[in-house]
Amino acid sequence: MNETILKYKAGLIIIAVVFAILLALTVVRYVKSMDAVRVAIDEKLMVIPDEEIHDTSWNIPEIQEKKKEINWLERQLLLAKSDSLTLGININDSIVQVQLKGTVLVQAKMIKQYPLHFFESLNYGSYHDFTRIAAIVEEQSTILKKPIKKVQAPKNENEFQAVKHDTIPDPLLVWQFSLDNRINVVITGVGLDKDSVLNFQHKKNLMDYNYQNLKENLLPETYTPTLYIWLNDKDAKSVYRAIPEKGKVVFKN
């Protein structure tokens, strides 16, 4: 009987110790995360003029919308000087688009974005910085930019006239990239199930992303906001393959 009680007490002690360790790690992680956020905010504010930070007209909804539209048009004019395809992410209208010299070539409707409210409560200076033309500095994807073609060699002269070209099936797209304005974006393609219905598993996707970045996010030294976007897989691949490596990205919110 005494031996059973001792084992029971030992088990409770182990549970309490594990709980205390996990609690301590959670608190430390929270403190480190908040410190990283404060540092990131301070760094951003240092390069933004005071008159833009304290622009009181920005608090008037009608003026704010006009300034956002003007800001978007100014960015498009700058991009029109380039001959490269660029990526436009219009959070306000839930649209991702490929554009060239102000002309939209490919447009895809977001199935979902996370977080739902991404950089909505910003002063004018911070918004101006967030929506500046950014460049992709690092990226990785589950598919190649150019699909691999498998050519079936003809067996005789008759087949020579009808050579079949088969495209090796691609996996669903997961395109992750980092921008030089310290924002990460993850675009995930959503495919169809056996009943031709969108197989949308955004919670599982988020868990996978968090697990992949567990080491970096456990005790973060820097804060980098991440925008997660889900598109129809066909649209997502069209957008991904159109944008050149180290391409330019512009936001509208």
pLDDT of residue 41: 47
Residue-by-residue pLDDT tens, the chain, 253 positions: 566 666 666 666 777 666 566 555 555 444 444 444 444 445 555 555 655 556 778 888 888 888 888 888 888 888 888 888 999 999 989 999 999 987 899 999 999 999 888 877 777 877 888 888 999 999 999 998 876 555 565 566 655 555 555 555 678 999 999 999 889 999 999 998 887 788 888 899 988 888 887 766 666 667 688 999 999 999 999 999 999 999 999 998 8
Q: How much is the pLDDT for 86?
A: 94
Residue 85 neighbours by CB distance under 10 Å: 18
Residue 18 CA to residue 173 CA, distance in Å, equals 39
CA distance 90 to 252: 5
pLDDT at 151: 54
Contact of 229 with 187, CB cutoff 8 Å: yes
Predicted confidence at residue 37, as pLDDT, reads 42
Do 167 and 149 meet the contact criterion of CB atoms below 8 Å apart?
A: yes
DSSP the chain: -HHHHHHHHHHHHHHHHHHHHHHHHHHHHHHHHHHHHHHHHHHHHHTS-HHHHT-GGGGSHHHHHHHHHHHHHHHHHHHTT--S-EEEEETTTTEEEEEETTEEEEEEE-SEEESSS-S-S--HHHHHHHTS-EEEEEEEESS-SSPPEEE---SSHHHHTT--EEEPPPPPPEEEEEETTS-EEEEEEE-B-TTS-B---HHHHHHHHHHHTHHHHHS-SS---EEEEEEEHHHHHHHHHHSPTT-EEEEE-
Model confidence, pTM: 0.72
